[in-house]
Amino acid sequence: MVENSTVSEGLEMASVGPIRVVHLPSELCVRAEKRFADRFDSVEQLLAYMLEELLRNEAAQADAGEQKLVEQRLRELGYL
């Protein structure tokens, strides 16, 4: 059961294209299913969402770093 629109948006993006098989310990999957059953229908949905969020956060950090670099250069040139 996916209630959050952000969750479903991330899952839609992750479901495009070929599928890959990932091997995980069964106990880890069982614990994750129990813990997140109210937000995700499967471990696959949970993992797809988590990977999308990690990649999105990484991109945001890179953008912030680039912005700082541009601001520093503009300061050095006297524009800021």
Condensed to tens digits (0 to 9), the pLDDT of residues 20-76 reads 898 999 999 999 999 999 999 999 999 999 999 888 877 777 777 788 888 888 888
What is the model's pLDDT at position 35? Answer: 95
Count of residues in the chain: 80
pTM to 2 decimal places: 0.55
Residue 17 covered by a domain: no
| Residue whose entry in the numeric block shows the structure tokens 């524009």 | 79
Of the two residues 23 and 1, the one the predictor is more confident about is 23
Query: Is the confidence at residue 9, as pLDDT, over 60?
Result: no
Residue 29 covered by a domain: yes
How many separate domains does the chain show?
Answer: 1
Residue 18 covered by a domain: no
List strand residue ranges (DSSP E) for 1-80, in order. Answer: none
What is the model's pLDDT at position 15? Answer: 56
Residue 33 covered by a domain: yes
Residue 62 covered by a domain: yes
Q: Residue 43 is part of which domain span?
A: 5-12+23-76
